[in-house]
Amino acid sequence: MAMEEVFEKLRTLQNILSEKIKLEHEVEEIPKILVTQEELLSRLKKTFIDKNLEFEKCRSSEAEFRNLLEEALSMREKSEKNMDAVNTQREYEALDKEIRDAADKEQQYRKELQREERMLADLDEQIKQNTALIEQQEQDLEERRRGIETEVAGKKAQIEKLEEEERNLIPGLDPEVLFKFERIIRNKMGRGIVAIKGGVCTGCHMVLPVQFANLVHQGEEIVFCPYCSRILYYEESDEEGADYFDNEDTGSLADLDDMEDEEYDEDEEDEESTGMEFEE
Ligand SMILES: [Zn+2]
C-alpha cells in the first residue's frame, strides 16, 4: 500500500476513533446525572423514617398525658364528693387544697396534651408532604432512567456502526501501528496523525531532529514523533520550503537529548505498561 494511502486511511480512522471515543465517554457519563436525584430521594426516605419515629414517640406521650389528665380529673371529682362529708374546718382546708392541686394538674396536663396534639397534626402533615415528594421523585427518576436507557442504546448503536467502519478500514494496516495510533488518540484527545511542517511537529510544536524530518519526507515507513508519539506525515512549509532538508542547523539529535527527560520518557514508560497489559 502506498504511504499516502496509509496516511489517508489513518486520517479517516482518526475521525472514526475520535467519534467513537467521544461516544464511549458519553455512555459512561450519562448515568452520572442521576446521582444527585438519587441522593435527594434517599434523603427524603431517611426523613420519612425519622418523622415516623418522631410521630410514634409523640403519640405515646400524647397517650400518657391523656391518662394523667383522666387521673387528675377523677381525683378532683372524688375530692369534691368528699366535701359533703366534711365535719371540721381542718378537714375542709385539706380537701380544698387537694381539689385545687388536682385542678392545677388538670390544667397543666390539658396544656401538655394540646401541645402534643398540635405536634402530631404537624408531623402528620409533614409525613404526607414527604410521602408525596418521594412518590414524585421516584416517578421522575424512573422517567429519566428510561430516557437515559434510550439515549445510551442510541449511542451504543452509533458506536457499533463506527466499529464496523473501523473493521472495514483496517485491513492492510500494521496492527502494532494501529494499536499505538488508537492509544495516542485516546491519550491526546483526538489527534493521532499530524503533519510535520518546517521541521516542527504540528502536534506538539517541537522541532524534530533532521533525521526524523528526512525520514518522514521520504515516506517509506511510519514515523512516530519522538516527543508526542503521534504519527507524522510530511507537509510542505510555506516559509522554509523543501530546501529545509539541506539545512543542518535547524535540528539535530542534540535537541532530542535535551527533551529526553520529559515527554519522551513518559511515553516510553506508558508504552511498556500498556504492552504488559496486553500480554496478560
Ligand atoms: Zn510531536
pLDDT of residue 17: 93
- Write out pLDDT tens, residues 155-196: 999 999 999 999 999 898 999 999 999 999 988 767 899 999
Q: What is the per-residue pLDDT across 229-258, written as a single tens digit (0 to 9) for each?
A: 999 999 887 654 444 444 444 444 444 444
Give the per-residue pLDDT at 263: 42
Query: What per-residue confidence (pLDDT) applies to 238?
Result: 66
Which residue's entry shows cell 492492510? 172
DSSP string, 12-81: HHHHHHHHHHHHHHHHHHGGGGGHHHHHHHHHHHHHHHHHHHHHHHHHHHHHHHHHHHHHHHHHHHHHHH
Q: How far, in Å, is the centroid of ligand 1 from the Cα of 7?
A: 16
Residue type, 202: T
Q: What residues have CB less than 8 Å from 152, skipping those under 6 apart?
A: 27, 30, 31
pLDDT < 70 positions in the chain: 189, 238-280
Report the predicted TM-score, pTM, of the whole model to 2 decimal places. Answer: 0.63
**What spacing in Å lies between the alpha carbon of 170 and ligand 1's midpoint?**
24
- Please tell me the distance between residue 73's alpha carbon and the centre of ligand 1 in angstroms: 94
